A = this chain, B = another copy of it.
C-alpha cells in the first residue's frame, strides 16, 4: 500500500518542488504559494512543508505524529541539507531554518514564526564563520532564543517576549546603546547568556541544544496552536469551516541582518485601502522580519529604496517590482509579499492575495479588467477578463459602495459598547429616541435632526418613526424580524437582537453594560458589523446612491459610481436569471428599478394598511359582526389600495409585479395599550369591552403558525375579493390611461399548504378579476400563483402546480417551519448554536441548502413535472444573499427578489453563479 504523503519539498528547482498553488488545502496558503513561486523559478529559499493532514492527525490523536510523517520528515530534511550543502546543528556549516505555520486561509491567532532555528552554543560558531560576521551570528542566536521561548514554549510556561525585552533594555542601558544595532558582538554574546538563564528560569529546563529537538518542539507548537482558543474564536467569527488544520513550513533561513546590503520588508502590488494601482511597501535595512512588524525602528517606504546609499538597492527595487508584477499577473490578484535581501540578493519569503476594503476590491476588479485607472484615466496592463473581475468580488464589496460608511480610522478609535446582528447595512449616527412617534416629531420639527430609534422590537405601527430615524437598534429579533426586513428594504442601517440592552421606556433610558444612556445621547451604529458605539463617528455618504436613487448629475461623474456601473453592466451581461425586488410603494419601486430590478417579486400589501386613516378601516373590519359590515369596512380601503397599485404599476411599466394578498395575523392591526384601545372604541363608536374582547380573541399562542396568510381570506373571502378588485382595478386603469402602462400583475396567494386552499381562493380571484376586466373593457393578462413557504406545499408541489401559474419560494417562513425556529425568538439560542458549531451560520441569513434547500429543489422539480413552464422565484430575505442566490441559480429558479438596495448585489451574485456554471 502506498504511504500517505505528509511532507513536501519545494525550492532549488522546479523539478525538486513537489507542490503548487492548487494544493492550498493540504499545503496551506503559504506552503502552496512558496511551491508555486519555486515552480516559477523565483528566488525562494528552499524548504519543506508538513501538510495540514499531518496536523489533523495530530489533533485527532491528542498530540501524536502520524508515523509516516516522522519518516518522511527525516528524508526531506536530508534532501534539504544535501541541496543547501549545510547540516542542521553542524558546528562548522550549520543549516538554519525558520518554522512558520500556514493554513489554507490566512488566520491570525495561531503560532506564527520562529526564525534562526538550528542555532546552538556550538553551531552559532560555525554560523559566524559562514556569514563572516560575528555580530550577525550572536544577534541571530539571541533572537532565536527570544522567539523560541516566547512562541514555542510560552503557551505552556508563561514565558513571554517581554521577559527577554527587559534584559535587552537592561544591557542596552548598561552599554549606553541607543539602538539594538549599536550592541557589539561581545555584548550580544553576553545577552545570549542572560537569555538562556531567563529561559531556564521559566521553562525549568535548559535551552535545547539539539536542533532536532528544537524543530520537534516548534512543529508541535504550530500544530497545537491550531486548536487554541484564539484560533478557534477567529475561525468562528470569520465563519471558517471545514479546514483540516495548519501546515508547517520549514524554510531555509536567509538573513536581512547582515549589514547595509541586507534587509527585509513587506510590499503590496496595489493599495488595499483606496485600490490605487501603484505598488507600495515598507522595508528595514539590517533587520530580520519581526523588526518590521514590531515597530522598533521606523521602516522606510518602498519608493525610497532606489535612493539608498548602497547601490545594490536600486537593482533590488527593480527586481522586486518585476517579481511583484509577475506574481500579480500569475495569481490574477493583487499580492502581499514578504521579502528579504541578504547581502544584495533578493529572496521572496511569501506571497499571498492582499487584503483590501470593498472599494479597493471593486477598483482592482474594474481596473485590472479594463486596463484603465478609473480616477486618472491612465492605462495599465489588462490582467483579468470581465468574468474573472466579477469572480474576484463579493457582495460585501459592493455593499460598501452603496451605503454610508464610517470613516475607518474614526471607527477604530470609537468605543464599542455592545453588538447585535448586522440587520440593515451602512452606518448611522443620531440621538437616541425610544418611541417611533418621538422620532417622527423630532424630524418634523427639524429636518436635519438625526435620531436613532432604540426599541425592544418594532411593529408595523412604528414604520413612520423608523423612516424618520437614521437607524434602528433593537434588543430582540433576528435577521428577518420586522425591524430588519423593513430597514433593509429601505437600505437603512439597523442592528437587531442586541440582547444586552436594558430599555426603560418610562424613564426613557437604555442601560448597556451598567452604563445609562438617556434620550438625546448620541449613538453610532455600524449596520454592516453590528457594532454599536457611544458618541458620534463621522460617516461618508455613497455617491452611488446619490447618482442612482437621487439622480444627482455630479455623483454620476464620481469614479465610484462609474465603477459601480461597470460592475453592474458586466453582471447583467453574464447572469442567466432575473433579479426582482421586494417593494411595497411606488417610491421603493422606482429606487429598485434604478438599481436594476426587473420587476417586483414581492409587493406586500399589509404595509399599505397602516398609512393615514386606513388603519381605522381595517380596525372597523376586525370589529365587524357580520360579512356585510366587514364588506362595508373594506370598501373604504378599496380605493386607497387601488391607488397604491396604480403608482406601483406605473413605476414598473413593462415589468411584472407580484402582489401578495394580506399575510399577517389580524392582531397586528389592533392596539395593545389600554389608552389606544380606548381611542379605538371611541373612534369606532363601540364599547371598550368590545374592543378588549376582540383583541383578546385575536391573541394567539403561536401567531406565526396561526390565523394568517391564505387562512384569513378563507375565513373572510371578502378580503380576497377587495384586494383582487384593487389590483386588477388599478391594472385596468393604468393600462387604459392616456399614456398607457404595460401591466403584468401576478397575484400571489400566501401560506398555501394544500391545493384545496389555493383552489378556493384562485376561484375567487379569477371571478373578481374577470368581473373587473369585463366592466372596464380592458384586456389585462394576469397570473395567479402562490408562495411556497410551508413545508407541505413543497412536498405536494405537483398538486399545487395544477392550479398555481407561478411559485415564489418564501424562504423566511420555509426556514422557520423546516427548522422549527421562530425568527423572532432564535436569539435565545442562536449564539450558542454558532459557538458550538451546531449551525454553520444563521439560516435566516444564508439559506440552509441541505434542509430548506432540499424542499426548494423538490418544489421546483415537482412543480415543473406538472407544469413544465412553471415560473419559479424566491422572495425571502435570502434573495439578497450572494451564497443563497448562487443556490437559486443551481436550483433552476427563474428569478430572485430582494430589497431594493440589495439588487446590485444579487445581480453580481447571479452573474457569479452563471460564470461558475
Residues of chain A at the chain B interface (Cβ within 8 Å):
700-707, 711, 714-715, 751, 753-754, 756-757, 760, 789-792, 795-796, 813, 816-822, 824-825, 828-829, 832-833, 836-839, 848, 850-852, 854-855
Contact = CB atoms under 8 A, between A and B. Distances in A.
Nearest to A838: B756
A755 to B, nearest CB: 9
A749 to B, nearest CB: 13
B825 A703 contact: yes
A474 to B, nearest CB: 13
7 closest Cβ contacts across the A-B interface?
Answer: A705-B822, A702-B822, A792-B851, A706-B825, A701-B824, A707-B828, A756-B838
Contacts of A753: 818-821, 851
13 contacts: A701-B824, A705-B705, A705-B820, A714-B829, A715-B832, A753-B819, A756-B839, A789-B820, A791-B818, A791-B851, A796-B850, A813-B820, A817-B818
A828 B697 CA distance: 9
B701 A704 contact: yes
A852 B754 CA distance: 12
A757 B824 CA distance: 21
A700 B813 contact: no
Given A751-B820, A756-B839, A817-B817, 7 more contacts: A702-B824, A705-B821, A707-B829, A753-B818, A753-B851, A789-B820, A792-B820
Contacts of A839: 754, 756
Contacts of A792: 818-820, 848, 851-852
Given A705-B820, A817-B818, A850-B796, A700 B825 contact: yes
Nearest to A790: B820
Contacts of A789: 820
A392 to B, nearest CB: 32
A674 B707 CA distance: 30
B705 A816 contact: yes
Contacts of A829: 707, 711, 714-715
A838 B702 contact: no
A663 B819 CA distance: 16
A134 B316 CA distance: 136
A820 B820 contact: no
A798 to B, nearest CB: 11
Given A705-B816, A848-B792, A838 B700 contact: no
Contacts of A754: 838-839, 851
Contact of A705 (B704, B795, B855): B704
A458 to B, nearest CB: 13
A825 B855 contact: no
A838 B852 CA distance: 26
Contacts of A817: 705, 791, 817-818, 820
A813 to B, nearest CB: 7
Given A792-B819, A813-B820, A701 B703 contact: yes
A848 B754 CA distance: 11
Given A714-B832, A817-B818, A837-B756, A825 B795 contact: no
Contacts of A820: 704-705, 751, 753, 789-792, 813, 817
